[in-house]
Amino acid sequence: MNKQQYLAMRNQLMNEAQALIDAGKAAEAEEKMKEVTALDERWDAIAQAQANFRALNTEPVAAAPAIPEDATGKDNAADGAMKALESEEYKVAWAKTLMGKQLTQDESETYMMVNEAFTHTTENTSIVIPKTVTKGIWEMAAEMYPYFADVTKTYVNGTLSMIQEDTSSDAAWYEESSKTEDGKETFKEFQLSGCELARAITVSWKLKEMSIEDFIPYIQRRMARKMGAAAGYGATHGKGKGSSGKPEPIGTVTALLSAEGTPQVVRYKKGTSPTYQIILDARAKVKSGYSVNLKIYANSTTIWTKLASIVDANKRPIFLADPTGNGQIRILGMAVKEDDSMNDGEILISNPSDGYHMNINKEMTMMTEDHVKERKTDYCGYAIMDGNIITDKAHVLLVEEETAVSG
């Protein structure tokens, strides 16, 4: 039995199980799913035996010159799988698989091509999410968590090493005969090795009977709220890998509050709004090189109960609508963005595109698990990502404090 035969047999058994479930034959459906489990175990054993045989049967040979991927046909296969991943046919096949519906022959072939290309181990039972669906999930998440949306992202598998600015000295002028002094720049290296992000949603079997056109946006909305909340929290308040509990990215708020002496944190009296002068003092802490993409991030409560009430020395509000008429609110020229990951009273003035780096070590995939007795299905989104600030000079945080003195 090869992998294609295994996948075809598994798909057939799952379709038979679904038919039994639809007919109300729960006990027979349970037995059919036991056949699926037995088939999975049989395939795992075959795959392991094949791997062991190849290891024993391979004779050491001298290293050969690298052969271009396209010469072996692998590159063409990868291109075909990538095109299929972005196709409407794969999106329909993906949705029908999640809904437990039978695939056509063409849909089944497209589905197997994509998942064989992008899942690399027999233990991996995740389903590759169509590009358009993944994009939709992150776009919806970005509306609720714009800080995560605005940070610089890369998509590098494995560990990514980055340079973090620590301190920086200014350049100086010298006479021709003078010796140039060494600069005092110091840098630290940090590694984005990846933190696992997994969130599950549960859907009743009754809801799975909706049309594919309704099912896809429904799953997108539900997953965007779950995955977006976790990703948004990670970019602002993630505790890092040294914290108790599961590894998380280092969030900007966490990094600023944990810095020695907290030089980029400004405090204002709890129960009040920060004054105009406090806002000016905070803004002055961001280095001029990071001014272009500077924005203000806070949750809805903080925006409308604190920021909206600030006036300047002449009692004029500084919370102003953008004159271009795009609905954007600005303070001192900086766009104000509502971000649900921020806590009440926290105001983050930040340039995330230049001051924070997020690496997506593994793009989002999805796994499913049926619960026959409860007639429900769990859909679990899974991704690996990691992040940290590049420099604290691109950010300043305003927080409430009981003992702070109003400016």
Residue 164: per-residue pLDDT: 67
Q: Can you tell me the distance from the alpha carbon of 242 to that of 227, in angstroms, rounded to the nearest whole number?
A: 22
**pLDDT tens track for 362-393:** 888 888 888 888 888 888 888 889 999 999 99
Residue 162: per-residue pLDDT: 67
For residue 374, the SS3 value is coil
Confidence of residue 58 (pLDDT cuts 50, 70, 90): very low
Mean pLDDT of 207-213: 81
Min mean pLDDT across 73-82, 191-200, 378-387 is at: 73-82
The DSSP letter of residue 189 is E
Domain ranges of the chain: 3-53+71-124, 129-168+185-407
Q: Which of 258, 234, 242, 198 is nearest to 358 (CA)?
A: 234
Q: Can you tell me the distance from the alpha carbon of 128 to that of 138, in angstroms, rounded to the nearest whole number?
A: 15
Which comes out higher in pLDDT, residue 161 or 228?
A: 228
Percent of the chain with pLDDT over 70: 79
Confidence of residue 123 (pLDDT cuts 50, 70, 90): very low
Helices (H), 154-291: 212-237, 252-258, 276-283
Task: Tell me if the pTM is above 0.75.
Answer: no
Which comes out higher in pLDDT, residue 314 or 18?
A: 314
Which comes out higher in pLDDT, residue 159 or 4?
A: 159
**pLDDT tens track for 293-305:** 999 999 999 999 9
Mean pLDDT of 219-238: 89
Report whether 121 contacts 361 (CB < 8 A). Answer: no
Min mean pLDDT across 91-105, 226-240, 259-273 is at: 91-105
What would the 3-class secondary structure string for 120-172 be?
A: CCCCCCCEECCHHHHHHHHHHHHHHCHHHHHCEEECCCCCEEEEEEEECCCCC
Residue 262: per-residue pLDDT: 94
Phi and psi, residue 164, nearest 5°: -110, 125
Q: Which of 168, 298, 122, 315 is nearest to 307 (CA)?
A: 298
CATH code given to domain 129-168+185-407: 3.90.1690
Which comes out higher in pLDDT, residue 343 or 65?
A: 343
**pLDDT tens track for 352-363:** 999 999 998 888
